[in-house]
């Protein structure tokens, strides 16, 4: 995946970073809760607790293995995107009481009854042969 933090204040000078086959090697015990959202779940935002610092390995665009200590926003974005690779959404990290509060919004998204500034494609019933 690609991490591009340049639209965010304090990260304007950063360049997009390509991470091929990324893995988290270790993480700090200290966790922080920050509000997250996702294009996959429009208009739903909620605080998610994640490790503040992570240690990652990945291959760059030259297919050279790199290791990196990610902190702050980069660590947050990396974990969020890594979750997507594993089929996990940020809402999967929320407790059941919070999910109940969000149920109405999540149901609207599921039924495609929500307007976005980007396309949401119709569900297709693909079948493997």
DSSP letter at 2 equals E
Asked, for residue 115, whether it belongs to a domain, the answer is: no
Domain count, the chain: 1
Q: Residue 62: inside a domain, yes or no?
A: yes
Predicted pLDDT of residue 124:
64
Residues ≥6 apart with Cβ < 8 Å to 80: 36, 38, 90
What is the chain's mean pLDDT, rounded?
A: 90
CB atoms within 10 A of CB 70: 21
What is the mean pLDDT of the segment spanning 9-13? 91
d(C-alpha 60, C-alpha 62), whole Å: 5
What pLDDT is attached to residue 111?
A: 82
In a domain, 36, yes or no: yes
Whether the predicted pLDDT of 2 surpasses 70: yes
Task: Quick: pLDDT tens for 27-59.
Answer: 999 999 999 999 888 889 999 999 999 999 999
What integer pLDDT is reported at residue 94 of this predicted model? 93
What pLDDT, in 10s, does the model give residues 61-70? 999 999 999 9
Answer yes or no: is 68 within a domain: yes
The answer to the question of residue 101 being in a domain is yes
Domain boundaries, position 34: 2-110
For 69-113, write each residue's pLDDT tens digit: 999 999 999 999 999 999 999 999 999 999 899 888 888 888 878
**Measuring CA to CA, which residue among 88, 120, 2, 107 is closest to residue 44?**
107
Would you call 102 exposed, middle or buried from its count of C-beta atoms within 10 A (0-12, 13-18, 19+)? middle
User: For residue 123, what pLDDT band results from cuts at 50, 70 and 90?
Assistant: low
Q: Is the four-CA dihedral 40, 45, 46, 51 of positive or negative sign?
A: positive
118 part of a folded domain: no
Distance CA 37, CA 111 (A): 19
Tell me whether residue 129 is in a domain.
no
Q: Which of 29, 47, 69, 81 is catalytic?
A: 81
* CATH classification of the domain holding 13: 3.90.45.10
Q: Residue 62, SS3?
A: coil
Catalytic, 81? Answer yes
Judged against a pLDDT cut of 70, whether residue 114 lies above it is answered with yes
Q: Indicate whether 84 belongs to any domain.
A: yes
């Amino acid at each position: 995946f690609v991490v591009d933090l340049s639209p965010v204040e304090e990260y304007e000078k950063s360049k997009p970073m390509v991470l091929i086959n990324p893995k988290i090697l270790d993480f700090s015990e200290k966790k922080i809760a920050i509000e997250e959202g996702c294009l996959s779940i429009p208009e739903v935002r909620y605080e998610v607790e994640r490790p503040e610092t992570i240690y990652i390995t990945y291959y760059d665009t030259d297919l050279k293995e790199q290791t990196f200590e990610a902190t702050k926003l980069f660590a947050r974005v990396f974990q969020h995107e890594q979750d997507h690779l594993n089929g996990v959404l940020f809402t999967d990290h929320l407790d059941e009481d919070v999910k109940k509060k969000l149920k109405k919004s999540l149901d609207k998204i599921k039924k495609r009854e929500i307007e976005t500034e980007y396309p949401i494609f119709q569900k297709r019933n693909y079948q493997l042969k």
